[in-house]
A and B are shown apart, each in its own frame.
Chain A
Amino acid sequence: MDYRENEQEAAFRKRVHDWLAENAPRNWQEEASDEKAAGRITRAWHRKLYEAGFIGLSWPEEYGGRNLGPTFEAILNDELGKADTPRISFHNYLGRAIFAFGTEEQKRRFLPTMLSGEVQWCQGFSEPNAGSDLASLRTFAELRGDTYVVNGQKMWTSGALNADWCLLLVRTDRDVPKHKGITCLLTSIRAPGIDVRPIRISDGAPETCEVFLDEVKIPADQRVGDPGAGWRIAMTVLSFERGPADIGMIATYDTALRKIEDLAKARGVAGQPEVRKALARAYVHGEALRLNVVEQLSQRSAGRMPGPEGSVARLLLTEAQQYINHLELEVMGADAFNGRATGTFNSYIRSRTISIFGGTSEIQKNILANQVLGMPR
C-alpha cells in the first residue's frame, strides 16, 4: 500500500483546492443562525458543488455520477473539511440503499436528483422505543391494495426540517421475528399525515427532529427491496454512514487541533508539560483515526464493501473528538465558564452526541465483539 496519491488523484486535489479558494462561502456560520437558514445554505452549497462536477464522484454516470473511485470522494471531503465549508446534503450513504436494493426505475427516478441536491433526503430509522434496539421499531405500514398506509412516530431524524423525501423503515409483519418484519419505504416528507417537529439538542440547536406519521399513504412502488428486507438495507446504510465516508471529519479535526494549539500558545500555557503532552496526545488520536480510515479506504478501493470493522474508525473518531473538546475546555480554563467564551462549552456539550448518534459506542462495541471477533451472543 502506497500512502502517496497518484498523479490523477493529486491533480484532482489541486483542482478542488483551487476551486474552493475561489468559491468556498465565507462567514456562512453567522448566516446559519437558525435551522431553516442552515438548510438553505446547505442546499445552495450542494448545488454549487454539483454544478462544478464535484458531487457523486464515485457514482455511476447513468445516475448522475462521475465513475471515479472512493479515494476521490475522500479527497473532496478532505479539502471541504480543510476549507471549513458548510455541510452538504446526505446523499452518499442514503443513496447506497436505493442503489444497492432499488429497482432500475427507482434508481433513475431518485438518484440523479439526490446527487444534484434538488431533492434533499432524511433517514427515518429510530423511534422513541427503538433506539439502540432499532429492530424493535413499531411504526406500522399496512398494505391496502397497492398503497401502504403508515402510522407511527420516528425520532432523531436529522435534517427532516429541510428535507423533501425520507427513507423510512417500517414494520409490515408483526408475526415474524423482529428483524424479518421490517420494510423500507420512500416517502415525500410533505405527504399528508406527516408532521415534523424539531428537537433541540444540548447546545440549543434544533439539529434533529421527530416525525409523526398519521395514516400516511405511500404507493407500493416506493418500496425498496422486498417486503421484510428492510433490516439488511438499514445495515448497509449504517455501515456506509459509519465508515470511511467520515473522512471529512479528519480534516475538520486537524483544523480544530491547530486552533487549540494556537489557543494554548496565545494563552501562554503551551510551555506546560501537561498541556504539551495533552496536545501531542490529541495529535496521536487524530493520526490513529486518519491512518485506520486510510487503510480501510484502500480496501474499499480494492472493491471491498464497508463492513462491521467500520465501527473501529467510529470509536476512534469518538475518542479523538471528545478528547479535544475536553482539551479545549482545559486550555480555556475559567474563561469557558465566566461568560467570556461560551462557545467553547457549547461545542464541548455538543461533542457528547458523538458517542450516541448513528449507533452508541456500546452498540459499536457489540458489533465488533459479535461480528468481527465472533464472540457468542
Chain B
Amino acid sequence: MLRTTAERLAQRYAVRNPADLATIDRAQSWQAVADAGLLGLRARDGAQPFVSGVEVMLVAEALAGALTPPSFIGTILAEELLALAGVDAEIDAIAAGSARYALLLTRDLTQLADAESFNGAVGFDADAAGYALGLSRGRGGARLCRYAIAGVFSELQTPDFTRVCVGPATDKKRPEAELLGSAVTAEALDRWLALALTLTCADIVGVLRSGLRQVVEYSKTRIQYGVPVGSFQAVQHMCAEMLVKVEAASSMTRYAAWTVDALPPSESLLAARTAKAHCAGAARSVAETVMQAFGGIGQTWEHIAPLMNRRVMFDRKLFGDESHQLLCIADARLGAA
C-alpha cells in the first residue's frame, strides 16, 4: 500500500535526467509526499512507530529509484530522533511538511555531530530545512540539539547533485545549541544508527535497481554490429553480475529493516552494518558498470547514469563506507583488536 503510494509519487516527480533538477518543483513534490502521509511514518502511537522499519525501507527504496524527492531519509531519521527524545510537536510539524530538519553529521559523515565536532560538520538532506539536528553529549547522556540554519550555514558543493548539504560558515561563531526533549540512551542511538544505515542501503538499492533496469532496456535497443548490444555475452555477464549484487543488497537490506523493530539494538546494528558493507561495495561497482554498459553516452553531463553514480557514491560514505563497517563487524565478531 505505502509502497504503491511511494511508487506513484516517485513516477510523478521522477528525475529522468539531470536537467529535471533545475525544473522540478521541489516544494510541490515535498508537499505531495507530506499529503500522502509518508513523512509521519515513524511518529509514535504510544511507544510503537506507526509503521515498521520494513515499510519505511520500501518507501525509501521506491523514492530513491526515481531520485526524488530529495530529503526523505534525512527527514525520517530526524523524525526518529525527535520521537526518541519525545519532541511530539515537532514530529507533527514534520509530518505535515511544514518543518524541515537536516541531520548534522560529523565531517567524516559516519555519525551525528556534537558541539566538539561542529566545525566541519555537514547538514545532510538540508533542502529547505530550518534546522540542523545534532547531539549534545553531557553527563546525563546524549540530548538532541538543533541549530537554526539561516545565517549560520551555507550550501556545500557536494558531488551529489540530487540532495542538498549545508555546512557552518567558517567565519561565524558557533551558535548556541537549542536543546530538545529528554535524554536519549546509547541503546536507542544504536537502534537509530541501525535505521540510518538501513535507509541508506535502501537508497542505494533503489537507485541501483533503477539503473540496472534502465541499462538493460537500453542494451535491448542499442544496435552495434547489426545486433542489440545486449545480445553480447560480455554485456550480459556484466548485467548478470549487477543483478546478483543488487538482489543480495536487497535481501540484506530487507532483513536489516526487519531487525530494527524486532531484535535487540546490538544485533540490529550488526545486521545493518553487514548490509551496508555489502551495499557500499555494490554501490560503486554497480553504478560504474551501469555507466560502462551505457557506453559513451553514459559518460555525459546530460545523462542519468553519472547522476545515479553521484548519489550512491555519496551514500557509500554516508554513516560509514565498506572499510568502516568491516572493521566494526570484526569488532563484533572477534572482539576489539
Contact = CB atoms under 8 A, between A and B. Distances in A.
B330 A276 contact: yes
A277 B326 contact: yes
Given A261-B333, A283-B329, A365 B278 contact: no
A280 B248 contact: no
Interface string A260-291: 01001100001101001101110110011101
Contacts of A287: 252, 271, 274, 278
A204 interface: no
Contacts of B241: 365
Given A370-B236, A375-B231, A288 B251 contact: yes
B233 to A, nearest CB: 7
Contacts of B187: none
Contacts of A377: 231
A284 B329 contact: yes
Interface in A19-59: none
A265 B240 CA distance: 37
B334 interface: yes
B258 A366 contact: no
Contacts of A265: 334
Contacts of A283: 274, 329, 333
A118 interface: no
B329 A312 contact: no
A291 B240 CA distance: 19
Interface in B79-122: none
Contact of B334 (A1, A261, A291, A316): A261
Interface size class of A (residues with CB under 8 A): 35 or more
B254 A1 contact: yes
B145 interface: no
A376 B243 contact: no
Contacts of B258: 1-3
Q: Which of A270, A277, A312, A369 has the most CB of B within 10 A?
A: A369
A198 B57 CA distance: 52
A106 interface: no
Interface string B11-48: 00000000000000000000000000000000000000
A312 B243 contact: yes
Interface in B209-247: 216, 219-220, 227-228, 230-231, 233, 235-237, 239-241, 243-244, 247
Given A281-B277, A281-B326, A288 B233 contact: no
A270 B334 contact: yes
Contacts of A369: 236-237, 239-240
B262 A3 contact: yes
B225 to A, nearest CB: 13
Interface of A: 1-4, 261, 264-265, 270-271, 273, 276-277, 279-281, 283-284, 287-289, 291-292, 294-295, 309, 312, 315-316, 362, 364-366, 368-370, 372-377
Interface of B: 54, 216, 219-220, 227-228, 230-231, 233, 235-237, 239-241, 243-244, 247-248, 251-252, 254-255, 258-259, 262, 271, 274, 277-278, 323, 325-327, 329-330, 333-334, 337
The 7 closest A-B pairs by CB, nearest first: A369-B236, A276-B330, A365-B240, A368-B240, A280-B329, A288-B248, A280-B326
